[in-house]
Structure 1
Amino acid sequence: MTTAVPLIYCFPEFSGVAEAVADHILAAQNYALYNDYNKKVPALSATASNTSLRTGFSSSSSNTHLPRSNSHHHSASVSKSRKEKRLQEKQENRRFKIGLSGGSLIQVLEEGLLKRDDIEWNKWDVYFADERLVPFDSKDSNYGKAKRKIFDNIPAGNGRPNVFPIDISLINDPQECADQYEKTLIKGFASKDSVKLPIFDLILLGCAPDGHVASLFPNQESLRENYAWCTPIEDAPSGPQKRISLTVPVICHAHRVSFVVEGATKAPVIKTIMERPDKGLPASIINEKAAGKIAWFVDSDAVSDVDGITKKTYKFLVNTK
C-alpha cells in the first residue's frame, strides 16, 4: 500500500464525478483569488475605500497650509492609503493558474464546469500539463479538444480565460517545442523573480490504463528529469509519438494535484497504483511525491478491484446558495 494515503472520492456514476470536480476547481479558484473557498472578498478599510479621494490631494500646496502637528498625521494616513491601495491592486491582479491534461478529463470538465455561473473565467490562466504535437484541429490535440469542448462554449458575458497552447509551428521538433513552452511558463510564473519551479494553484490529471500521467510514460527517461520544467517526448508507446510534458517536479510542486479517473478499464492500474507503488508507475510516483496535496476523483468502476482504501464522501466546499 502507498505510504501516504491520498484522498479518494468515489462516486457511483460519471455525473457525480463531474459535479464534484467542478466544485473542487471552483474552491481552488476562490482560494487562489480571495484566500477563501466561498469568495468572501477581504473587506477594505474606510481608508482604503477612500484612497482615490485622499491621494487626490497635492503633496505640495495642500500640505504646506496644514498645522505641523496634523501634517505628520496626514502623511502617515496617505502612506497607509497608498499601502492599502497596493494591496487592493495586488488582490485585483491575482490569477488562478491551472494545468490541464487531456483525454477523458476534458469531458469531465465540460460536463461539470459549463453548467456553473460562478466560474471567473477572465481570471484564469490555463496551461497544459502535456500536449501531443499534432495540429490543433486533430482529435489528439489536448488544446484543440479543450477549446472545442470548453472554451468555445463558455456562455457570453462570462469572460474568457488566458489560454497558453504550444507553438504550433514547432510540432516537428519536440525539444524546441518543450523549450519554447518552458519559456512560456517562465514568463507566466517567474517574469519578475527567479524561481526554481512554477507553482500552479491546481493541476488536473487523468491516468491511462498503463499508468502514464500527462505524457510521462513508464520506464522512460523523462520520468527522471529533475531540472527542466518541460520535457520532450520523442517515442510515446501509444498515441502520437511526439509530445511535450510537464516534469514530475513541476507537477508535484503545485498547491493541489488531482486525478480524475473513471471507467472499469482503469480498475487494474488503479489497483497497482494504490497497492503496489513499488512498481514505479508514473501515477504512483506523483501519488507518493505529492503526498498531502493529492486527491483522486473516481467512479465506482475504477476502484472496484482495489482493497484497503478508504473511499471518502466529497463535501462540497463552495456554497451555491
Structure 2
Amino acid sequence: MQKKKEEKDDEKIDHSPRHLFQYPDGPSQATFFRFDDVEEVSSALAEYIVQVSNEAIKQRGKFTFVLSGGSIVKALRFLAEGPVFHSIAWDKWHVFWVDERVVPLNHEDSNYKLAKDEFLSKVPIPHEQIHAIQNFHDEKAAAHAYESKLRELVRKKVITTKTAKKFPRFDFVLLGLGPDGHVASLFPNRPSLAEEKLWVLPISNSPKPPSKRITMTLPCINAAEHVAFVALGSGKAHVLHRVLERPALPGSLPAQMVRVDDGNLVWFADQGATSELHLENWNNAKQFPFFDFKQPASVSS
C-alpha cells in the first residue's frame, strides 16, 4: 500500500530537466517608439532621460544612470546642449557601466573612454560620481571589484535594491543591440545568461575583441526601474526583426531575455532599424502572442 502511494506521489512530480535559460511566463511588455531618423531618436531619448532623472531626484535626491558602449553613447548629445542641459541637476547623477572591456581606461576599446569623449566631458557630473571599473588586467578581479563597489553604494543608499531579490535597482539602464542579439557582454547561448545570484560577471572569451570583459548580469539589468534599448540604422533591421517578431530558442537571443521585473522597458528606433518589422500587425495577438507593445505617438504621451 505504501509503495503504491509513493508511486502515485512520483507521478505528480515534474522530473523533466529545467532548461538552462528561462523566460518569464506571459508576453514581454514594453513601449516602442519609432522616429524618422537618428536626430529624432536622440532628441526623444534625451527627453525621456530628463523625465526619469527629474522623477528619481525628486523622490530620492539621486539619479543612477547605467551606460553601454558603442555608438549609442553618441545619441546622448542632446543632453549636453541648450535648454535640456540646463534642466538637469547634474550634481545628483551617478554614472555606471553595464559592461566594460578589461583594458586601460584611456584605451581606444574602453567604454569609459568613449563615454568620456562623447558625453561625460561635456557635462558637470562630479568626478567621484562617475563609477568606472578599476584598471585591472584580470577580468575576475575586475568583476569582483565592480560588484563590491556596487554593494558598497547600496549600503550607502546611493543605489536602492529590489526588496525580494536584493538586486540593485538602477533608475535607468541604456542598452544597445548587438548584431547577434547580444546585450551588454552577454552573448548567445553562454552560461552567463543563466546567472541568478551575481551582479557582475567576468567574461574571458568574448566572441568580439577584446576577449576579456566584465558585464552586469540579466537579473541585475532586469531589476532596473527603466531599461531603454536604442536601435539605429538599417544594419540593425534584421536583428531587430528577429528579437521583436520571431520567438527564439531560450538563450539564442539575449535581448529577448531583457524583461524588466517591475519597471519600464522602452525601445527607441529609427526607420532604418524598423524597416523589416510588421508594426501594423502587432495588435494581432494570434500572430504575435509573445510580446505586448504599446506604440505611443510621442515620449510625453
TM-score interval, normalised by the smaller of the two chains: 0.7 to 0.9
CA RMSD of aligned residues (A): 2.0
CA distance, structure 2, for counterparts of residue 183 and residue 99 of structure 1:
16
Q: TM-score, normalised by structure 1?
A: 0.74
CA distance, structure 2, for counterparts of residue 159 and residue 178 of structure 1:
24
TM-superposed deviation, 1:200:
0.3
TM-superposed deviation, 1:292:
5.6
CA distance, structure 2, for counterparts of residue 292 and residue 97 of structure 1:
15
Q: Is the 8 A contact 2:67 2:95 kept in 1?
A: yes
What amino acid does structure 1 have at the position aligned with 2:117? R
TM-superposed deviation, 1:121:
1.2
Q: Which moved more, 1:203-212 or 1:185-194?
A: 185-194
SS at match of 2:170: coil
What amino acid does structure 1 have at the position aligned with 2:108? K
**Could you report, residue by residue, the CA deviation over 1:56-93 in whole angstroms, capped at 9, with x for unpaired residues?**
xxxxxxxxxxxxxxxxxxxxxxxxxxxxxxxxxxx6xx
CA distance, structure 1, for counterparts of residue 146 and residue 271 of structure 2:
36
Question: Which one of 82, 94, 107 corresponds to residue 125 of structure 1?
Answer: 94
1:188 aligns with 2:153: yes
Q: Is the 8 A contact 1:20 1:316 kept in 2?
A: no
CA distance, structure 1, for counterparts of residue 262 and residue 62 of structure 2:
25
Q: TM-score, normalised by structure 2?
A: 0.79
Q: Is the 8 A contact 1:4 1:292 kept in 2?
A: no
Q: Is the 8 A contact 2:179 2:236 kept in 1?
A: yes
What amino acid does structure 2 have at the position aligned with 1:147? K
Distance change >3 Å, CA 250–CA 153, structure 1 → 2? same
**Could you report, residue by residue, the CA deviation over 1:31-70 in whole angstroms, capped at 9, with x for unpaired residues?**
10114xxxxxxxxxxxxxxxxxxxxxxxxxxxxxxxxxxx
Task: Identify the residue that residue 315 of structure 1 maps to in structure 2.
Answer: 299
Q: Is the 8 A contact 1:151 1:160 kept in 2?
A: no
TM-superposed deviation, 1:151:
1.4
Q: Is the 8 A contact 1:136 1:144 kept in 2?
A: yes
Superposed structure 1 runs of 4+ greater than 6 Å apart: 192-195
Task: Identify the residue that residue 16 of structure 1 maps to in structure 2.
Answer: 40
Task: Identify the residue that residue 151 of structure 1 maps to in structure 2.
Answer: 120
Question: Which one of 196, 212, 235 corresponds to residue 242 of structure 1?
Answer: 212
Identity %: 36
Q: Which moved more, 1:112-121 or 1:298-307?
A: 112-121
Give the structure with higher Rg (CA). 1
Distance change >3 Å, CA 291–CA 285, structure 1 → 2? farther
Aligned residues: 252
TM-superposed deviation, 1:23:
0.8
Distance change >3 Å, CA 276–CA 102, structure 1 → 2? same
Task: Identify the residue that residue 50 of structure 1 maps to in structure 2.
Answer: none
TM-superposed deviation, 1:289:
5.1
TM-superposed deviation, 1:316:
3.1
CA distance, structure 1, for counterparts of residue 126 and residue 205 of structure 2:
35
Task: Identify the residue that residue 283 of structure 1 maps to in structure 2.
Answer: 255
CA distance, structure 1, for counterparts of residue 247 and residue 296 of structure 2:
21
1:213 aligns with 2:183: yes
SS at match of 1:303: coil
Distance change >3 Å, CA 202–CA 292, structure 1 → 2? closer
Task: Identify the residue that residue 25 of structure 1 maps to in structure 2.
Answer: 49
Q: Is the 8 A contact 1:277 1:285 kept in 2?
A: no
1:268 aligns with 2:235: no
Q: Is the 8 A contact 2:224 2:263 kept in 1?
A: no
Q: Is the 8 A contact 2:56 2:63 kept in 1?
A: yes
CA distance, structure 1, for counterparts of residue 240 and residue 210 of structure 2:
24
Which structure has greater helix proportion?
1
SS at match of 1:8: strand
SS at match of 1:301: coil
CA distance, structure 2, for counterparts of residue 277 and residue 121 of structure 1:
40
**Could you report, residue by residue, the CA deviation over 1:183-227 in whole angstroms, capped at 9, with x for unpaired residues?**
110111234699721110111101111111011110111111110
Task: Identify the residue that residue 175 of structure 1 maps to in structure 2.
Answer: 140
